[in-house]
Every structure is written in C-alpha cells, then in structure tokens.
Amino acid sequence: MSERILITGASGFIGYHLIKAAQEAGYEVDAAVRSSSQLSHLNALAPNFVTVDLGSKESLISNLEAGQYSYIIHAAGATKAKSIEEYNFINAGYTQNLALAAEQANIQLKKFVFVSSLAAIGPTDYDNEELFTENRKANPVTAYGKSKLLAEQYLNDSNLPLAILRPTAVYGPGEKDLYIVFKMLQDGLDMYIGKKPQRFSFVYVQDLVNAIMLSLHAENKTERTYNISDGNVYGRYELADTFKDLLGKKTIRFHIPESVVKVVANVLELAYTNSEKTPVLNKEKLNELTAPNWACSIEAARKDLHYRPLYNLKSGLSESIQWYTQEKWL
C-alpha cells in the first residue's frame, strides 16, 4: 500500500507542482480543495479530491481519520486580504486548526510540513552583507508576513513532527504575480520603484517542491525552520536583465519615485474599499517590493534536508519562459 499524503492549497500554483511531485514519488495523493476551487488544470493529474473546511477543527479531524494520512503538507493560505485580521484568520487560524486536528486525530502522522514564507522573518538592511539565517530576529514588514509568523508560532507550540519551510519569491510555470513583470518586460517596459539598491533572492518552483519532498523524511529536529532559495543573491536589475537576454528583448528602463507609487497604492486601496478583491498594488505589496535585502542563507536546509537547488535564475527563467510561451501567456 502506498503511503497517503494530504496537500492543502492543492489548486494553487505551488499545489499543482506538489501534487505532481508526490505522485511521481509514489504517494497516494489527496488534494484538499474548497467547493469553490477551480480544478480543471488538475484533471490530467487526477488526484483524489477531498473537500475540507479549514475553519472547523472537528471537521478536519474527521477528514484526517478518514484519510489515515502519513504526511500533511499545508500549502494553503491567503496572499491577498483586506486586513491583518483576515490574514491572521486564514493564514494563522486555519493552520492552528489543522495542527490541532492532526494532533488529536487517530492517525500515525510522520511529518507535518508547513509552507510558510520568507516574509515571516522579513528583510534586512542593504548594508547587512551577511546572508540572514532562520534564527535572526523576525521583522515582517507586511500583514501577510506577520500572519505567517503567527502561524509558525502556533505550530512551534505543538508536538507535531514538524518542518517549516520559508521560501523566498517563487517563480515557475503557472505563477501569476511575477508573470505580471514578465508581461511588462515583453511589452518593452522595465519599471522600478525608486533608485535605492536592493538584494533579492528567488527560488524556482521545482527546487521548492524538491525541498518540501526532502523534508518529509528528514530527521525531526529541535530547530525545524528552513529558508529556501536557490542559494544565490541577485541585484535589483538581474531578473529583468536575465529575462531580456533569454528572449533577446530590448526595453525602456525607468524609475518611478516611491512617493508617487505610494499615492497610487493609497488611491487603489480606496477604490477597492467596497470590493471583495484587493488591488495588485497596495501598501502591503509596496513594503515588500521596496524592501532593501532579501538575501537569505540556505545552509540549514543544505545540512538537515540535504537540499541542493538545481536551478539558478537563468535556468529557471528559461524553463518558465518556455512554458509561458507554449501556453500563450507570453
């Protein structure tokens, strides 16, 4: 009998790649979805779909006992919300419910993997040239990051066999946020907020998925939180320059004053006040985009998980562009 694994957030960008990797590894995969989830892109993978209510611990206990899961990968979460309360309710509250259910359910759980975010620890100053580690004092600069940190704190208070992974900016086939940047570059626009220098880190989705799969069988340790990137540090122009080199594109590079972008973000937030949606650009996103330094160390993941990233920005973007082109996104 194959071991069973439950993946939340299965209908999302990372979830799709997780399902594929878990199936290829021989697991019986249950994809936890909502009744409103769009699932057509998962038809070719054909996982077992399980409708779950992450807001109900009792319902989750029933789900877990019915599935008798050996592993849980919790990748569900909100990246856009109206308030810190909404972020906390979804990203922290749902995580706590699932953790409590996993502790109380009659299952033989071998590992609970939480896909957190580097936003939970936050950026550092540009002048800090050392790669920051997992043990640095957390300083999240967004409500999203604060909610992910709160979720981590809930989990660390549990007795679960736990691994927490903090990926940096994730890109790859099917990703929609950085895709906005790629589309602008293809249209000839290379836009930046302000002129301050920045350091970035990235991780190709396949490397992140590999790290998650490795964490399933890693020895349970006291220190169980891991930064995940491709191990490199990039300047603020390298993403665009690499994209343009791969496509042979020429663009117009320009910088918009941060003060102007702040006004635009405020106006957009006001415009969306009565909408259920949040604008692509808002004050939250601006804090993240203008942060000076996201250069993190992955030595803990190398040591404990035996994580070895296979992609740098050039090779990852090359595969991504091929997919976006084939699917006619670009």
- Of 273 and 4, the structure prediction assigns the larger pLDDT to 4
Q: 49 Cβ partners below 8 Å, 6+ apart?
A: 30, 31, 33, 39
Structure confidence at residue 220 (pLDDT): 81
110-119, 222-231, 269-278: lowest mean pLDDT where?
269-278
- Of 114 and 279, the structure prediction assigns the larger pLDDT to 114
The span from the CA of 206 to the CA of 231, in Å, is: 14
Q: What is the average per-residue pLDDT within 308-321? A: 98
Q: What is the average per-residue pLDDT within 134-155? A: 96
Q: Is the pTM of this model over 0.85?
A: yes
Q: pLDDT (tens digit, 9 = 90+) per residue, 286-307?
A: 999 999 999 999 999 999 999 9
Q: What is the average per-residue pLDDT within 32-39? A: 83
pLDDT at 165 over 90: yes
Give percent of the chain with pLDDT exceeding 90: 86
Q: What is the average per-residue pLDDT within 124-138? A: 95
Structure confidence at residue 269 (pLDDT): 86
User: Distance from first CA to last CA of the chain, Å, rounded?
Assistant: 43
Q: What is the average per-residue pLDDT within 136-156? A: 96
Q: What is the average per-residue pLDDT within 139-164? A: 96
Structure confidence at residue 2 (pLDDT): 84
In this structure, what is the dihedral angle of CA atoms 251, 280, 13, 118, given to the nearest 10 degrees?
Answer: 90
Q: pLDDT (tens digit, 9 = 90+) per residue, 51-97?
A: 999 999 999 999 999 999 999 999 999 998 989 999 999 999 999 99
CATH for the 4-175+200-233+294-312 domain, from 3.40.640.10, 3.30.1330.30, 3.40.50.300, 3.40.50.720: 3.40.50.720
Structure confidence at residue 35 (pLDDT): 75
Q: What is the average per-residue pLDDT within 40-55? A: 92
Q: Which residues pair with 193 in a beta bridge?
A: 256
Q: What is the average per-residue pLDDT within 194-220? A: 96
H helix count then E strand count, the chain: 12, 13
Structure confidence at residue 164 (pLDDT): 98
Residue 276, Cβ density class (10 Å: 0-12 exposed, 13-18 middle, ≥19 buried): exposed
The span from the CA of 258 to the CA of 241, in Å, is: 22
Q: Helix, strand, or coil here: 247?
A: helix
Structure confidence at residue 274 (pLDDT): 83
pLDDT at 235 over 70: yes
pLDDT band at 263 (very low <50, low <70, confident <90, very high): very high
DSSP 101: H
Q: What is the average per-residue pLDDT within 223-239? A: 96
pLDDT at 129 over 90: no
Structure confidence at residue 280 (pLDDT): 80
Structure confidence at residue 1 (pLDDT): 62
Six-digit token pair at 213?
A: 């799969």
pLDDT band at 328 (very low <50, low <70, confident <90, very high): very high
- Closest listed residue to residue 209, CA positions, set 13, 1, 45: 13
**Cα atoms found within 13 Å of the Cα of residue 292, Cβ hemisphere only:** 11
Q: Which residues pair with 115 in a beta bridge?
A: 165
